[in-house]
Structure 1
Amino acid sequence: MVINVLAVQAQDNFNTEVPKDIIILRSTKDYKIALTTAQQAASRLHKKLDLRKLSPNKELGLTMSKADCDEIGYPCYPARGDGNAFNDSYISVEYSNAYKGFAKGYYIVMAAITNVKSASMKAQLAIINKVYPDAYAKRTFIWLGCMH
Structure 2
Amino acid sequence: MSFLMLMCCVRETLAQDNYNTEVPKDIIILKSTKDYKNALVTAKQAAARLHKKLDLRGLTPNKKIGLTMSKADCLGSGDGDDLGYPCYTARGDGSAFNDSYISIEYSDAYKGFAKGFYVVVAAITDVKSANMKAQLTRIHKIYPDAYAKRTYIWFGCMH
Give the one of 102, 110, 124 matched to 1:99: 110
Give the one of 29, 35, 49 matched to 1:44: 49
Taking the aligned partners of 2:10 and 2:130, their CA distance within structure 1 comes to 29
Q: Which runs of 4+ in 1 moved over 6 A?
A: none
- Identical-pair percentage: 76
Aligned letter for 2:145?
D
Unaligned runs of 5+ in 1: none
Give the one of 131, 134, 142 matched to 1:123: 134
Taking the aligned partners of 2:43 and 2:133, their CA distance within structure 1 comes to 21
Q: Deviations over 1:69-104 (max 9, x none)?
A: 012110000000000000000000000000000000
Tell me whether 1:88 sits opposite 2:93 in the alignment. Answer: no
Taking the aligned partners of 1:76 and 1:29, their CA distance within structure 2 comes to 19
The aligned counterpart of 2:66 is 61
Aligned letter for 1:142?
I
TM-score by length of structure 1 reads 0.98
Partner SS state of residue 108, structure 2: helix
Taking the aligned partners of 2:67 and 2:55, their CA distance within structure 1 comes to 14
Aligned letter for 1:66?
K
Tell me whether 1:144 sits opposite 2:155 in the alignment. Answer: yes
Q: Deviations over 1:94-122 (max 9, x none)?
A: 00000000000000000000000000000
Aligned letter for 1:22?
I
Equivalent residues, number: 148
Aligned letter for 1:45?
L
The alpha carbon displacement at 1:5 in A equals 2.0
Aligned letter for 2:56?
L
Partner SS state of residue 67, structure 2: strand
Partner SS state of residue 111, structure 1: strand
Rg larger for: 2
